[in-house]
Amino acid sequence: MVTLRQLRTLAEHSDVYRDSQRIAIIDMGSNSWRLIVAEYVPHLSFKVVDEVRESVRISEGMAELNVMRPAAMDRAARVAQIYAAFCEAVGIENVVAVGTSAIRDARNQKRFLERIQRESGIEVRVLSGEEEAYYGYLAAVNSTTFDSGFVVDLGGGSLQICRVEDRKLVRAISFPLGAVRVTEGFLHSDPATAKELQNLSSHLREQFEALDWFRQEPGMMMVGEGGTLRQIARLQQKRADYPLDILHGYVMSYSHVSTIRDELAELTVGGRKKIVGMKTDRADISLGGAAVVYEVMRASGFEEMVICGQGLREGLFYERFLATNGDSAQAGDPPVFDHVRRASVLNLCHLYRFQEKHAEHIVRLTLSMFDQIPANRHLCGADEREILWAASMLHDIGVSVDYHDHHKHGSYLVLNAGLPGYTHREIALIALLVRYHRKGKPTTDELDELLEDRDDKRLVQMCALLRLAEQLDRSRDGVVHDVRLAVNGNHARMELLVTGDEQVPLWAVEHHREIFEQAFGFELEVVPVPEGE
């Protein structure tokens, strides 16, 4: 595993940003083919810098004989040529192309691969079902706080189910039950008939009931991946007028899936295309997909599924990004972040070129104060401590947009980047802390529905600490090395351990004592103490 120390050490050399590399990953799925270009500095930061998607649907008409049809092969060959030309024009030499279910199962696979190779020069690596499942697992475990449970990856051609324990993959299976496949195999009418849906359900139940290791156990979560799942989640977000524009981390309930499946079943393909949030080229397979998701949740007994916006492509990427493991890695260990949340905060920090020294000093001051607030005044616990850590690290990233209103820009960046590993409640709180780290009365605004009871008060407490810390380091020179807090009844005496001129911090804090006093109900006295005394 990669340690935080490694990330840190690299970050201290700002020249490291110049050693960025690029890789193109082509995912030749049964429904769509995608090409992503990722730019990364090994172990430090990464981002997708380009993306192309084509609906190729190579699995079209394969249901019967498992033979790729000539028309589908022609479409595929053309797109392969274009992707190859694209990579060449853009100047990327490192191209990884993988084929999944449709290519894997096609009886004419060999002729197809030869044609692709001949016409585009692309060497396709055909993944086995287990390999496909493994990369889906890598994506989930590197982008969520997933510890034990199942990863369900629903593609156009196949469905992968992984069982994970202590972040390790312990079982994996692949079924030919992708959204395109089940649609072609079972749902011939438009709209589908009750009988067709009944047959599909029976078929799915038979398959899943045989999997005795696929049942919910205490402490387990279910993570869902794949374009069809993202499509269903997007429909649910639109219906609910969800306040965030992020799919990753979205929690979808069994009853939502059930409702969406029933509603799609009522409609023709044409009718489904008109639903707000529906991608036109997914409308036909959306009902089959929803049916699979519904039966997956039913069979395993999960009430909720957490959507993962990443998948196979990202799994292939992590394998390379985390390739050279650190000292702590054992041979055979999967390429997995030590700590997903930290990695995702640090990634954002580096992408926006944060001022590392100042950010870490703010972390030191906020957490020092946090830990010294007496328990009987604290509304916050360990969860909020980690939220405060993240907000302290990220509070200034908005400066990369503009100094003016950088608190607003930073909040925008956090809400749009999404911070994999944090729940949407946590992301909302981090964004609000960034938003109010300088001024303004902290309010939960339109993010309210993501929050828990009393989070408005927790927000004010965390905000008070962050704002005071920011003022103590207003000159960004770390002159206030640490603080000591002594509480006596309603009176709090805060000693600033200073290593130099205390004028700026004392002046700066003056304007912001009020929020602290209101948040904790103290009267605050601030006293500079030269360090060593």
List residues near a copy of itself by CB under 8 A. 47-51, 78, 81-82, 85-86, 88-91, 245, 399-405, 409, 412-413, 416-417, 474-477, 479, 500-501, 503-504, 507
Place of tokens 């509603």: 263
58 DSSP assignment:
T
450 DSSP assignment:
G
- Structure tokens that stand for 387 in this block: 């939220």
110/404 with CB nearer a copy of itself: 404
83/137 with CB nearer a copy of itself: 83
106/246 with CB nearer a copy of itself: 246
- Structure tokens that stand for 187 in this block: 């749902």
The rounded distance, in Å, linking the Cα atoms of 406 and 494 is 28
Place of tokens 């089959």: 288
- Structure tokens that stand for 2 in this block: 């990669």
- Structure tokens that stand for 266 in this block: 């009522």
- Single out the residue of 397, 449, 409 nearest to residue 425, CA to CA: 449
Q: How many residues does this entry show for the chain?
A: 533
Residue 86 CB, nearest distance to a copy of itself (Å)? Answer: 5
334/478 with CB nearer a copy of itself: 478
Residue 261 CB, nearest distance to a copy of itself (Å)? Answer: 28
Residue 378 CB, nearest distance to a copy of itself (Å)? Answer: 32
Residue 352 CB, nearest distance to a copy of itself (Å)? Answer: 8
- The number of angstroms, rounded, from the C-alpha of 267 to the middle of its chain's C-alpha atoms is 32
The rounded distance, in Å, linking the Cα atoms of 182 and 288 is 6
Residue 67 CB, nearest distance to a copy of itself (Å)? Answer: 26
Residue 233 CB, nearest distance to a copy of itself (Å)? Answer: 16
CA atoms within 13 A on the CB side of 341: 18
Residue 90 CB, nearest distance to a copy of itself (Å)? Answer: 6
Cβ 175 vs Cβ 122: under 8 Å: no
User: 3-state DSSP call for residue 501?
Assistant: coil
191/315 with CB nearer a copy of itself: 315
Residue 72 CB, nearest distance to a copy of itself (Å)? Answer: 17
Residue 472 CB, nearest distance to a copy of itself (Å)? Answer: 12
255/503 with CB nearer a copy of itself: 503
Contact partners, residue 304, CB within 8 Å, separation at least 6:
221, 222, 251, 252, 253, 254
Contact partners, residue 233, CB within 8 Å, separation at least 6:
224, 247, 250, 252, 307
The rounded distance, in Å, linking the Cα atoms of 42 and 16 is 9
Residue 477 CB, nearest distance to a copy of itself (Å)? Answer: 4
53/378 with CB nearer a copy of itself: 53
Query: Phi/psi zone of residue 509: left (φ > 0), alpha (ψ -120 to 50 degrees), beta?
Result: alpha
Residue 399 CB, nearest distance to a copy of itself (Å)? Answer: 7
Cβ 122 vs Cβ 130: under 8 Å: no
Helices (H), 96-211: 101-105, 109-120, 129-141, 179-186, 194-209
440 DSSP assignment:
S
Q: For residue 515, what are the β-bridge partners?
A: none
451/468 with CB nearer a copy of itself: 468
- Structure tokens that stand for 101 in this block: 């279910």
The rounded distance, in Å, linking the Cα atoms of 280 and 213 is 36
Cβ 248 vs Cβ 310: under 8 Å: yes
- Structure tokens that stand for 512 in this block: 């912001």
Residue 417 CB, nearest distance to a copy of itself (Å)? Answer: 6
Residue 516 CB, nearest distance to a copy of itself (Å)? Answer: 20
CB burial string 265-275: b at 16+ within 10 A, e below: bebebeebbeb
Taking the alpha carbons of 111, 117, 119, 122 in that order, is the dihedral positive or negative? Answer: positive
42/500 with CB nearer a copy of itself: 500
